[in-house]
Structure 1
């Protein structure tokens, strides 16, 4: 099915759901053991088999728009350095000097053609090659060709940069990202304006991610923010491999009844919205006011996560008023996620840790959550012969 046909189908289903007071549903309910959110051994397996062995998003292209731009990011136990090299390509490396393991870049963002270790002065090009050993006559012989910064696989497409934390793992980025990266590429994030970033903290990474995958909670958890715009508990789910295209009908979706059903695909944000998720930890909400990309980083313990919220807009602000409008929207979205969703998530974590119940439940209406947890289980089984989960 083409992208346009898929969108048209999803919108038609959302209109029907609103008319019939129904939603997209799984065949049955599903239970997940509470230990899936608390067990340290299980959490470590998730880190090793999911986060370190599969492509993960690490940066927006527009965070590094120019030659020499760089970004640092701590992801699990990996200090990352992402750079824009002279040929325009992105590089992802471990931000660790091969001499005594000092980080060579200490600022979150900057622009440099070379990095000099602040401990002993070894210097590196921004592609990671070792340039010079300080006072090399006294240090001794060093083969520069094999003492650069450790390189990780790098894939940039659609305005997003990905890597694999376990650099020795063979990964097919195209196969993993599938049709979802083509969908995102069509939006054109690589030409958009990077507005800024906010960082918030929450519960177990799956508790946080669960909140992005359903609208069952809108009426109760977001009565004055999300619910006035979007129907609660009415959703439609499509998937590209493990990634989800999640449709939410707006309360104005009835206006599309006068539109040619073959042109529904043109009306995103004008009657309906999509959330695009990238397994295992990214949620993208494209809106005309501003676009939010949420990146959930697990840890440092099973009951914690750090979430970076990145904000981009299809045009750069030209006036102070336009800039302030974007800043206000960033703060509004940040507050919705932090004080409503993540506030709830931290309470959920405490409830799970109390031992009150052995399992949590996902309803038939929480189809996206069920699909996500089936993919987590599939990855943890680490058996390619098993069938991949489907919606």
Structure 2
């Protein structure tokens, strides 16, 4: 029995029966410049995104030896590989000769990578194995000209990368048990279904929308609100990360029809969770289709690029099943883009107008408060102060 989830389910049921939600002790404010100041945005890139472990890929995207994923993260070209022994590696996708990429963006299978500019070739563990027309180029020590490695670790079905070469990465300490749920559901063996890419406003404007359900009835009256109560959430933290509970509109009937000792096993059947990996990933696990949203800042302060990755606990059974999954991915992209990110673009314009010097976060928006507190904690880089807690 998932006793921790059973207790949350009972709390969510109590909220639904009494018209309540999780509340903290005070209203807080955030300066509007947090979303508009270009210098602050650059500091976030340097102090957070280039320092902390980022969940850049899922194991399901690189399921076999020889698989790779090439991508951009925070303006940096990244190559993630799985070598013949099954070990994952991460590199800057930059040839040591003249700086061109050695792999085109996307996923595939290769034992070696050849730069299209001059044909230098690398193994999938980053070693330079061949210099084109070496007899004319001159002597070069290939052992010193490999791809630049990045700290990389695979855990519970996700692949984490630090964007700073040589950085120490205490992943277990950083996660603080956050991935126990993914371990329980054996997420590492799920199937990768596909992805959709959308763009929007400042990354924090976009991410704020993943952290509360206060807006469901007004912004999502036909898409989310029929399934999920508005302004009814439960928060808990694991270090800087969060598990946010949402009560479904049918929670009373669904939990009422099941023995209490089973409530902890009823995720997606009465209640749901959104799992937040600081600083930029949202995970919604569901048996029909799972969405993992990666929010990447930039290329300027008023923009973000969001990659919606989709998974299921089994691969498509046939063409009809695949078609149905494509439809679900399109619908989920549409909701995020046409509802959440549409309002985000308007918020960006509103904050840039100077109408208000700050925004207000209510007692019922503890997830948003906590996220901004954690971001400020990492930006301050003062370990003498304790990390915020829910």
TM-score by length of 2: 0.98
Aligned-residue offset at 1:40: 1.0
Which residue number corresponds to residue 211 of structure 1? 209
Q: Which runs of 5+ in 1 are unaligned?
A: none
> Any idea what the Cα deviations from partners look like across 1:59-87, whole Å, max 9, x if unmatched?
11111112211111111131000111100
Equivalent position of 1:185 in the other structure: 183
Indicate whether 1:26 and 2:28 are aligned.
no
In structure 2, the residue corresponding to 1:226 is in which secondary structure?
A: coil
Among candidates 30, 34, 42, match of residue 36 of structure 1? 34
Aligned equivalent of 1:156, options 137, 154, 157? 154
Q: Within 1, Cα distance between the matches of 2:347 and 2:124?
A: 43
Equivalent residue, structure 2, for 1:147: 145
Residues 84-142 of structure 1, C-alpha deviations (whole Å, 9 max, x = no match) = 11001111111000111010112422211111111111110111110011122222221
Q: Partners in 2 of 1:279 and 1:51 — Cα distance?
A: 10
CA separation in 1, counterparts of 2:176 and 2:386? Answer: 17
Q: Of 97, 103, 106, which residue of structure 1 is paired with 2:101?
A: 103
Determine which of 219, 224, 227 is the counterpart of 1:226: 224
After the TM superposition, which parts of structure 1 deviate over 4 Å for at least 4 consecutive aligned residues?
A: none
User: Whole-Å Cα distance in 2 between the matches of residues 152 and 121 of structure 1?
Assistant: 23
1:370 aligned to 2:342? no
Deviation at 1:177, TM superposition (A): 1.1
Counterpart for residue 120 of structure 2: 122
Residues 216-244 of structure 1: CA deviation (Å, up to 9, x unaligned): 00001000000000000000001111110
**Helix, strand or coil: the match of 1:17?**
helix
In structure 2, the residue matched to 1:280 is 279
1:322 alignment partner in structure 2: 321
Q: 1:137-181: per-residue Cα shift (whole Å, max 9, x none)?
A: 222221111110011111111111010001232220110012112
Tell me the distance in 2 between the aligned counterparts of 1:194 and 1:77. 25
Q: Measure, in 2, the Cα distance between the counterparts of 1:179 and 1:8.
A: 18
Matched residues in 1 for 2:145 and 2:180: separation? 37
Whether contact under 8 Å (2:71, 2:105) holds in the other structure is no
What's the RMSD between the two structures over aligned residues? 1.1
CA distance in 2 between counterparts of 1:282 and 1:274 reads: 14
3-state secondary structure, aligned to 2:265: helix
The 2-side partners of 1:119 and 1:325 are apart by 41
In 2, distance between residues paired with 1:99 and 1:281? Answer: 33
Q: Whole-Å Cα distance in 2 between the matches of residues 115 and 317 of structure 1?
A: 30
**CA–CA distance in structure 2, aligned partners of residues 31 and 363 of structure 1:** 9
> Where does residue 293 of structure 1 map in the other structure?
292
CA distance in 2, matches of 1:353, 1:376: 21
Aligned to 2:230, what secondary structure does the other structure show?
coil
| Distance in 2 (alpha carbons) for counterparts of 1:376 and 1:223 | 31
Q: What secondary structure sits across from 1:306 in the alignment?
A: strand
Q: Which residue in 2 is equivalent to 1:167?
A: 165
Matched position secondary structure for 2:359: strand
**Counterpart for residue 48 of structure 2:** 50
Q: Which residue of 1 aligns with 2:248?
A: 250
Indicate conservation of the 8 Å contact 2:111/2:123, yes or no: yes
What are the Cα deviations for residues 298-345 of structure 1, in whole angstroms up to 9, with x where unaligned?
Answer: 001111000000000111121222111111111111111111001111
Which whole-Å deviations, capped at 9, do the CAs of 1:272-321 have from their partners, x for residues lacking one?
Answer: 00000100000001122200000000001111000000000111121222
Structure 1 residue 258: Cα displacement: 4.2
The CA distance in 2 between the partners of 1:127 and 1:226, in whole Å, is 44
User: Among 59, 62, 65, which residue is 2:63 paired with?
Assistant: 65
1:131 is matched with 129
How many angstroms apart in 1 are the aligned matches of 2:222 and 2:287?
20
Q: Secondary structure at the match of 1:330?
A: helix
> How many corresponding residue pairs?
389
* CA distance in structure 1 between the partners assigned to 2:2 and 2:37 by the alignment: 43
